[in-house]
Amino acid sequence: MSGHHPWSVLLAKMPVERRKHIKECADALHREYTLSEIRRQAGLTQCQMAEKLNVSQPAYASFEKGGNLRVGTLQKIASALGGELSLNIKLNGNNFDLQFNTMNVDPGESEMGTKISRREFVSEVAARTVVPGALAAVDGDGRMVLEGSARKKKSLGQYFTEGACWLQPQIVDFIRNSNCHIAYDPFAGSGCLFAPVTNAVSTIKETIGLDIDPTQGWPVNDSLIKIPSKVGAVIVTNPPYISNYSASRKRLGDGLRKYFDMTEYDDVYLLALDRMLEAQENVVAIIPETFINSPFKKKNLLHSITILEENPFLDTDNPVVVVCFDSRPKHYKEIKIFKGAEYTCTLRDVEDCRLIPNNSVHMKFNDLSGWLGVRCVDTTNPNDMLHFDFKENIDYDWEKGIKVSSRLLTLISIDVPKSKRQSFINECNRVLSDVRIKSHDIILSPFKGNMKNGVRRRRLDFQTCRAIIERAYLATVVENDIAKMTQGCLFKEAM
């Protein structure tokens, strides 16, 4: 970008007092617009706020990210927090209160691209508010310039955390008990994980960051290829996530291909875990919750898994967990799973609930001639969770909606006598409920966002769906037929 200079270079040339003044101004702005900080001060979670506002958790999360924020929405948020909204304009030493009904906040308004007179102020704010990883600079008019930030972020698989909701008590204990004095992030990005860790764990005295993106200000390193080992360090990181399928579908280029060629796994976060465990014994990583059902071969080195039902991200509602590895081989019954701060079960308990189909019953998914409907994903309404039913009982336009690739709802053709179909459906739902209860709802794949009660939405994959149907078929169709045949034989013998 001709005529543009990195903000870090410009800032370094300024007097100390000037840099301090710029930082103070940016700090003041940052405190003004961070709704998540105000919510935490009020002692409320995103789920509790969503319930108060009668919206879903993902919808509320979008408010905290700045999405669709109108003054009326701000009023409701302020009321739900137990406060009130006050806006005024200072002019010539006087304060003028604004009437809310005359104001409008453009839902598309953003700091990005806004022309501000003081280039220093824009740049310092940009460093805090623009999605880390964007190529940002300031032109001669003090205008923030962004180049390809969204695509670059996708190509690097970057998602960025906010606050410390991910740092649950058991994770703090793990870091403390590691006896490490360095927090080490080989995918450091904006470095936002360091402050919560150093604040919560007094034994952490030093932080070290690396990143592939030179604009982040860390020593440059491609940590998907190799991570340098550091004595006395515990890795604390949020590695990149992107699947082989997503990379191809989004046409993100050949840059990612080399990583998939290095690994048997289909997502780069699993490759990242391998690299981390090669470098350090102790690892704490925020990764997709699909890890629990993944084929990762080093799960026996886990210490614990913490499921986060409160979204820790600024820019995605991808369901995540925090995994802690201590590199000690162990049985799955020793590996604890938490939801938030609450202990739930062991990894062995979850694996014992896993259902594997044996393909003993013929059935066809996504078949418009089928009679069995399945809602394969929980809706945001806790009263309309995934379930089996007659297709006419599920409010959906099957003719227009069902395709070969459909996964959220499906129609299944299976040969069940009409007289037994209701009992068959009941048994399918009973088996499904039993699996959800016994596995603490962990065995099913996570789905983006939570229900309105704050519970993670779940998705029923076709393999598990097939296994459930096979069990129900055996219980309601086959066993009943066998029972009738047995009764007939006994009757003949009695004759």
pLDDT by position in tens, the chain (length 495): 444 555 566 666 677 777 776 666 666 554 455 677 788 778 788 878 877 887 767 677 777 766 546 666 777 788 888 887 776 666 666 666 655 443 333 333 333 333 233 344 444 444 443 333 333 333 333 333 333 444 444 444 444 455 578 999 999 999 999 999 999 999 998 888 998 999 999 999 999 999 998 888 899 999 999 999 999 999 999 998 877 555 454 444 566 778 878 888 888 899 999 999 999 999 999 999 999 999 999 999 999 999 998 777 655 677 899 999 999 999 999 999 999 999 999 999 999 999 999 999 999 999 999 999 999 999 989 888 999 999 999 999 998 888 888 889 999 999 999 999 999 999 999 999 999 999 999 999 898 878 888 888 999 999 999 999 999 999 999 865 554 444 444 333 444
Greatest Cα pair distance in the chain: 109
Q: Which value, in Å, is the radius of gyration of the alpha carbons in the chain?
A: 27
Torsion angle, alpha carbons of 101, 107, 113, 119, to 10 = 40
- Whether the model pTM is above 0.85: no
In a domain, 1, yes or no: no
Assess whether 36 and 16 both reside in one domain: yes
Assess whether 205 and 323 both reside in one domain: yes
Alpha-carbon gap, residue 380 to 47, rounded angstroms? 12
119, 147, 175 - which closes a domain: 147
Q: In this structure, which amino acid lies at residue 275?
A: R
In a domain, 491, yes or no: no
Q: How many domains does the chain have?
A: 3
In a domain, 492, yes or no: no
Assess whether 243 and 307 both reside in one domain: yes
284, 314, 346 - which closes a domain: 346
Counting other chains too, the contacts that 387-395 makes at CB distance below 8 Å and 24 or more residues apart are 387/429, 387/432, 388/425, 388/428, 388/429, 388/432, 389/425, 390/421, 390/425
Q: In this structure, which amino acid lies at residue 175?
A: I
- Which range marks the domain in which residue 451 is found? 363-481
84, 116, 147 - which closes a domain: 147
Assess whether 160 and 252 both reside in one domain: yes
Q: Looking at residue 304, what DSSP letter applies?
A: E
Assess whether 142 and 161 both reside in one domain: no
Contact 283, 276 (CB under 8 A): yes
Q: Retrieve residue 366's tokens.
A: 């996504």
The pairing of beta strand 302-308 with beta strand 320-325: antiparallel
Residue 320, classified by CB atoms within 10 Å of its CB into exposed (0-12), middle (13-18) or buried (19+), is buried
Q: Retrieve residue 281's tokens.
A: 């014994």
Residue 85, classified by CB atoms within 10 Å of its CB into exposed (0-12), middle (13-18) or buried (19+), is middle
Alpha-carbon gap, residue 454 to 457, rounded angstroms? 9
Which of 391, 389, 394, 408 shows the shortest CA–CA distance to 460?
408
Alpha-carbon gap, residue 284 to 201, rounded angstroms? 14
Neighbours of 28 (CB within 10 A): 9
Assess whether 256 and 140 both reside in one domain: no
Contact 5, 215 (CB under 8 A): no
Assess whether 303 and 431 both reside in one domain: no
Residue 206: beta bridge partners? 182
Assess whether 182 and 309 both reside in one domain: yes
Assess whether 199 and 280 both reside in one domain: yes
- Convert 93-105 to b/e letters by CB count within 10 Å (16 or more is b): eeeeeeeeeeeee
In a domain, 98, yes or no: yes
Assess whether 312 and 370 both reside in one domain: no
In a domain, 351, yes or no: no
In a domain, 354, yes or no: no
Torsion angle, alpha carbons of 441, 442, 445, 451, to 10 = 50
CATH number at residue 170: 3.40.50.150
List, in sequence order, the alpha helices (H) in 280-391.
Answer: 347-351
Assess whether 106 and 25 both reside in one domain: yes
In a domain, 490, yes or no: no
Assess whether 311 and 164 both reside in one domain: yes
In a domain, 358, yes or no: no
